[in-house]
Amino acid sequence: MDVLKNRYIFLSISLVLAIISIFMLLFWKLNLAIDMTWWINLEYSYEKSVNIEQIRQELDKQKDLLLLDNQKVINNISVYSITWEKAFSIVAWFDTSIDESVLNWLKTEFKNKTFEALKTMDDTIVETKYTNIWKSFWDYIRKTAILTLWLAIIWIAIYVAYAFSWVAWWISTFSFAIITLITLFHDVIIAAWLYIIIGYFYKDFQIDTFFITALLTILGYSINDTVVIFDRIRDNLRKFAWKPGKEWKDLYEIINLSISETLKRSFYTSLTLLLVLITIFFFGPESLSGFILTMLFWVTVGTYSSIYNASPLLYEMNKNKKLTVYKKIVINPEDKIVV
């Protein structure tokens, strides 16, 4: 199997997807969950019937009445029914320039006024959930998530550099580490991008703490296939790179051989994991659906990346170097050895 023959096509596909992903993450409007913002989320149940459009109109009135220094404090309000339940949810976006303590008081005021208005429409309406995340908590979550992701990537790269040290003369151990950094970054941002696209069309898939947990999980698992292929390349380098005659193979042949030897294992491992994740996605807890969907995207992207990105990059970084695995030292038995 000659994967390296079309390496520029594979690397170009990954580069284009990575650029699109970075652009989307920076400029696309994200579907953030309540635990990733400083909005509020109110959920209500009812026994009779409610008119969602009538509720929206009533909340628009509440938005105009809730003022601070004669200025509106609510930017937008969203109301939507909860599928398969006699319940609905309200999400309110507040002006984030307001002092945090004042903002918290305004949120409580809005909650109380909203409940009073809803009770006049249907006296069976009951508040079942109120979520209020403070702005400082969101700032902490965002900074911690970014720091943790980068630290995890760097430490994994350091481990790979150590694990693959002294593989072959003239092949730098840091090439393995650099490729690990690139492939991990590639897997994380593309999996995140695919999830964000789904979240744009299906609002239930929001960016929340489960999503961040999924990205951290990806870092732990994503390196698995890459290390397996690298390990096979290391073994084949020791086996074929220094032998003379017909048994000698160059780096191009060794990498292709290593991919062929590990391809079936990588495919079956990923397929098994996919089947488990799909089962959990459809039959598992609804609260984990975002986490599982992110993992499903990663399995696809990560398997592709390990085979079609990591190995071709290793070849490109070392293709012009002379392969010598063992540095032989010839000792003349007639030389005197001074102890």
Reduced to 3 states (helix: H, G, I; strand: E, B; else coil), residue 116 is helix
Q: What is the DSSP letter of 309?
A: I
- Report the run of H or E that residue 41 belongs to, with start and end: strand 40-45
Tell me, what's the pLDDT at 67? Answer: 83
Backbone angles phi, psi at 310, to 5 degrees: -60, -50
Domains and CATH numbers, the chain: 4-32+137-318 (1.20.1640.10), 39-132 (3.30.70)
pTM: 0.68
What is the pLDDT averaged over residues 60-69?
Answer: 84
- Work out the end-to-end distance of the chain between its first and last CA atoms, rounded to an integer number of angstroms: 53
pLDDT in tens, 222-280: 777 788 888 888 888 878 766 665 667 788 888 899 888 888 888 888 889 889 989 98
Res 229: pLDDT:
86
Alpha-carbon Rg for the chain in angstroms: 28
Distance from chain centroid for Cα 337: 60
Task: Please give the pLDDT value at position 34.
Answer: 63
pLDDT at 15: 93
